[in-house]
Structure 1
Amino acid sequence: MRKWLTRSIFAYFIYGLLVYWYLFVFSDTGIPAPYIGTQADPETFMTGREQLLSQEYSTIRNFLYLVTVPFEWFLLFVFLITGLSRKTQEWSQATSRFSFLQSAVYFFWLSLFISFLSLPVNLIGYKISTTYHITTQSFPAWMKDQLIDFWVNYLLMATIIIVVFWLIRRFEKKWWLYAWFLSIPFSMFLMFVQPVLIDPLYNDFTPLKNKELETKILELADKADIPAEHVYEVNMSEKTNALNAYVTGIGSNSRIVLWDTTLNRLNDDEILFIMAHEMAHYVKKHIYVGIAGYLLLSLFGLFFIHLLMKFCINRFGSLLKIHSMKELTAFPLFLLLLGILTFASNPLSNTVARYQEKSADMYAIEMTNNHEAAISSFQELSKAGLSQVNPPTLIKIFRYTHPTMLERIIYLEEHGKGNVEK
């Protein structure tokens, strides 16, 4: 056990050094020569201080992301290899003779272990965001959100673990297929209830107060044949200075939401472009394409997890203190493999998402025909969030669900020039 712990700590340390070298030494985030002086060049819309802060903040946040993703995997590995998982299984079995209660108790202690050891890392991220004036949230309010996160994630994951391990015990060879079938209605249910049950736990949502702007947005929605009756605003200025707008939910529970920071910082034309972009996702059915893609990936993912769990238990069962896939003590291995496969699939899912986002941008510019407002909205988004205009390649591949600001502004500029030439 000590040998494997030492190896994993050493590997994690080397990985951290490589990430630091890549982000702080190797990566070139400057603007390519052909685009210097264009509207995509930060020097044309950011002050020197804003450029410096953007580079510092983005690099630090990217470093934290890349080093914290495997940190949770490391904690799950420690939970297994030290025997904590087996001891927790024994405690949970002693509390009740009902397997679903045993699963709930087991996962509570596992969640508490992961959350407690991850809290210092999350706190570092919070402190960095407040230092760079991205986060405006007080520490008590931030802790409140952390507690809400814990209980929401616990209830959702406890439900999953109860069902998954019931399936494994009943259908050891085909559990992954039955779990996938059940994930379809479960995913749809979550998307349906999220806007009305989960999101309000964190923020207050109200109909847009600016009725003149709401009228313009609803006219835009009518132009796109979208049956929208309300636009919502959310009081995010209590938590952040960043800007955002999004569409959430499905069916009758779908909502178009604007952060109040966006309302405060962008003018009406810029907001209309952002809204047209969000409406494009509805018109082009990107939400349903995303659901279909997620379900397809999850089918293969669950199958691979099944194969990998069998291999790991057969090969390393004594080291991980796992005797059978049917045991609760195998659940950290399930989460570990799920995390690794999810991270490995990010390049594919992000590529599809970036294609959809570009498609939404082009739909929005065709609808509004206001290139100046479109470009200035992206410039303001970069300034407010201290975002890198041209991030490192690996960051784009693994983190970016949207095209980079460099790409978005350049293709809007080219589209505008094309219209002028016509």
Structure 2
Amino acid sequence: MTLWSLAAAAAAQPFDVETATRLYLETLQGPARARSDAYFEGGYWLILWNGLVGALVNYLLLRTRWSAAWARWAERRTRRRALQTMLYAIPFVLVTALLSLPWTIYVDYVREAKYGLMNQSFAGWGGEQAIALLVSLVTTALILAAVMAVIRRAPRTWWLWGSAVMMGFAAVGLLVTPVFVAPLFNHYTPMAEGPLREQILAMAHANRIPADNVYVVDASRQSKRISANVSGIGPTIRISLNDNLLNRTPPQDVKAVMGHEMGHYVLGHIPVLILEFGAGTLVLLFILSRAVPRILARSGARWGIEGPADVAAVPLYAALVALLIIPATPLLNSMTRIEEAQADRFGLDAAREPDGFADVAMRLSEYRKIAPTPLEELLFFDHPSGRTRVRGAMAWKARHLAELPPGQRTMVRPAPVTP
């Protein structure tokens, strides 16, 4: 019996959450499921290797005394400490990117292409990497100048004030990125007039989201991933969906995704994200404030570093951050996953498209493992797994079955999922 004949048979039976969930999960089988599992499971190891590569690259800058040479070079160019730090940031960012380039090419291009998720040529991808590098030069110079100034002025409590500074940068980043940074990589065009656009805006207005337009992002030139967001703060709030979502999924799915993304805004996840970032940064900087002086007491002279406030110590701070992120990842994932689950529930109530939401969960499982063990989901998933999301959508459908139109009360919506 085929999957769709099973679905037809199930439609005649009382709605059952577990049966409906199973019917959706069975749409991802064979090589497609094996490829999805392999891609996502490989990402578990990337958490470790990303941290180790980052630490190794920064250690090389210390061991070779390149970092010390750049710091002394910057000191000879100007007496202003902030400008010295900004000048130091130029070789630091460029050389770090160059040393990391082979690993970056493998992770962000070769691996993505291997699993069929990359739509760009290597030249196109490289061009965007160059743009990202220029953005990194500016942001790194500003952040380093601010943080090093705090370290110099408050050597005992800099970790406290430094976390406040980083929260400020995070807030500014959320404010300016939609308007000034994102358009460097993609074109944003107003969504064409039509019923779907009006339904999205109606959902936004019903939930007091101050947006009067919906933008479409040409993400298909980079990958096949579907995505959307409600980004920005205050005057820069923008509702966006990428063209993959618009072209690869039916309207029900688009509405389900937009309901989820609006949930992040309505539930206050943007300010929560800033507060969580601040709390995490506070802990991280406190550890660094204790570890860096001890390490420099043993090795600082050998590396040519004068103390924790010397900008030449930046690679040491960066190496420790790279290593600390490894054990912190499960906690960070869990914090994000909780918020994503909250947005899932909001989106189901807002869009009232449980089958659309389940469809999207299956499409995302092209590159997210659909049915992890509970331990895998706890440690490695920053979103609920596809199985968790489909079951949640079907449970919502069961509770609201009498409220749905007759055509949506079947065990599974019969429209096939197209690749």
TM-score by length of 2: 0.84
Contact between 2:348 and 2:354, CA under 8 Å: does it hold in 1? Answer: yes
Deviation at 1:183, TM superposition (A): 3.1
Task: Name the structure 2 match of 1:53.
Answer: 35
Alignment of 1:363-378 (within 5 A): 363-378=346-361
Q: Distance in 2 between matches of 1:110 and 1:396?
A: 36
Between the aligned partners of 2:182 and 2:18, the Cα distance in structure 1 is: 41
Distance 1:49 1:43 in 2: 14
Q: Distance in 1 between matches of 2:354 and 2:373?
A: 27
Specify the alignment match of 1:10 in structure 2.
Answer: none
Aligned amino acid, residue 83 of structure 2: L
The answer to whether residue 70 in structure 2 is matched with residue 88 in structure 1 is yes
Distance 1:225 1:319 in 2: 59
- Kept after mapping to 1: 8 A contact 2:305/2:312: yes
Unaligned runs of 5+ in 1: 1-34
Alpha carbons of structure 1 residues 57 and 37: separation in structure 2 relative to 1, 3 Å: farther
Taking the TM superposition and a 5 Å limit, the aligned residue runs for 1:115-154 are 115-125=97-107, 126-154=109-137
Identity of aligned residues (%): 27
1:105 CA displacement: 2.6
What's the offset of the Cα at 1:91? 2.8
Deviation for aligned residue 1:193: 0.8
- Cα distance in structure 2, aligned partners of 1:196 and 1:56: 36
Matched, 1:417 2:419: no
Cα distance in 2, alignment partners of residues 282 and 316 from structure 1 = 47
Q: SS of the residue aligned with 2:309?
A: coil
| Offset of residue 315 of structure 1 | 3.9
Question: Is residue 81–residue 321 contact of structure 1 (8 Å, CA) maintained in 2?
Answer: no
Secondary structure in 1 matching 2:383: coil
- Residue aligning to 1:222: 205
After superposition, give the CA deviation of every residue in 1:214-269 in whole Å (9 maximum; x if it has no partner): 10101112222323211111000111011111121111211121010010011111
Aligned pairs for 1:74-223 (under 5 A) are 74-125=56-107, 126-223=109-206
Which one scores higher on RCO, CA 8 angstroms, separation ≥ 6?
Answer: 2
Instruction: Work out whether 1:253 is the aligned partner of 2:233.
Output: no
Hey, what's the Cα distance between the residues in 2 that align with 1:37 and 1:83?
63
Residue 387, structure 1, aligned to residue 368, structure 2? yes
Range with greater deviation from structure 2 (313-322 or 246-255) = 313-322
Matches of 1:301 and 1:205 in 2, distance apart? 36
Aligned-pair CA distance for 1:182: 3.0
Is the Cα–Cα contact under 8 Å of residues 346 and 397 in structure 1 kept in the other structure?
Answer: no
Contact 1:273–1:373, Cα closer than 8 Å, also in 2: yes
Match in the other structure for 1:4: none
Contact kept? 1:247, 1:256, Cα under 8 Å: yes
Partners of 2:147 and 2:295 lie apart in 1 by 18
Offset at 1:377?
1.6
In the aligned structure 2, how far is the partner of 1:393 from the partner of 1:332? 37
TM-score by length of 1: 0.84
In the TM superposition, residue 394 of structure 1 has moved relative to its aligned partner by 6.8
Unaligned 5+ segments in structure 2 are 1-16, 404-419
Q: Describe the superposition over 1:343-381 as per-residue Cα deviations: whole angstroms up to 9, x where unpaired.
A: 433322321221111111112212333322221121122
Q: In the alignment, what sits opposite 2:329?
A: 346
Counterpart-to-counterpart distance in 2, 1:184 and 1:132: 36
Aligned to 2:386: 405
Q: Residue 39 of structure 1: SS of its match in structure 2?
A: helix
Calculate the aligned-residue CA RMSD, in Å.
2.5
1:409/1:41 Cα in 2 relative to 1: closer, same or farther (>3 Å)? same
SS in 2 for 1:135: coil
Aligned to 2:4: none
Q: Is the 8 A contact 1:221 1:227 kept in 2?
A: yes
Aligned to 2:45: 63
- Matched with 1:328 is 311
Q: How far apart, in 2, do the equivalents of 1:37 and 1:69 lie?
A: 42
Provide the rounded CA distance (Å) in 2 between the counterparts of 1:222 and 1:237: 28
User: Structure 2: how far apart are the matches of 1:420 and 1:36?
Assistant: 15
How far apart, CA to CA, are the structure 2 residues paired with 1:367 and 1:224? 8
Is residue 40–residue 405 contact of structure 1 (8 Å, CA) maintained in 2? no
Residue 30 of structure 1 is matched in structure 2 by: none
- Rate the CA distance shift 1:40–1:123 in 2: closer, same or farther, 3 A: farther
Contact 1:191–1:250 (Cα < 8 Å) also in 2: yes
Tell me how far apart the structure 2 counterparts of residues 64 and 349 of structure 1 sit (CA, whole Å).
16
Q: CA distance change for structure 1 residues 345 and 49 in 2, over 3 Å: closer, same or farther?
A: closer
**Structure 1 residues 318 and 408: CA distance shift in structure 2, 3 A:** same
Q: Which amino acid aligns with 2:370?
A: V
CA distance in 1, matches of 2:311, 2:392: 51
Q: Distance in 2 between matches of 1:210 and 1:120?
A: 45
- Once residues 401 and 300 of structure 1 are traced to their aligned partners in structure 2, the CA distance between those partners, rounded to angstroms, is 20
Work out the CA distance in 1 between the residues paired with 2:342 and 2:168: 28
Any idea what the Cα deviations from partners look like across 1:314-343, whole Å, max 9, x if unmatched?
A: 244345443311212111112222333344
Counterpart CA distance in 1 for 2:331 and 2:243 is 33
Which residue type is aligned with residue 71 of structure 1?
V
For residues 21 and 374 of structure 2, the distance between their equivalents in structure 1, rounded to whole angstroms, comes to: 21
CA distance in structure 2 between the partners assigned to 1:214 and 1:63 by the alignment: 41
Query: Where do 1:7-86 residues align within 5 Å?
Result: 39=21, 44-86=26-68
1: CA distance, partners of 2:128 / 2:169: 24
**Which residue identity does 1:166 align to in structure 2?**
A
| Among 265, 269, 273, the residue aligned to 2:256 | 273
Counterpart selection for 1:357 from 340, 347, 352: 340
Structure 1, 104-113 or 247-256: larger mean CA deviation: 104-113
Cα-to-partner distance string for 1:147-187 (whole Å, 9 max, x where unaligned) = 11111112111111112222322332233333333334332
Alpha-carbon distance between aligned partners in 2 of 1:382 and 1:411, rounded to the nearest angstrom: 15
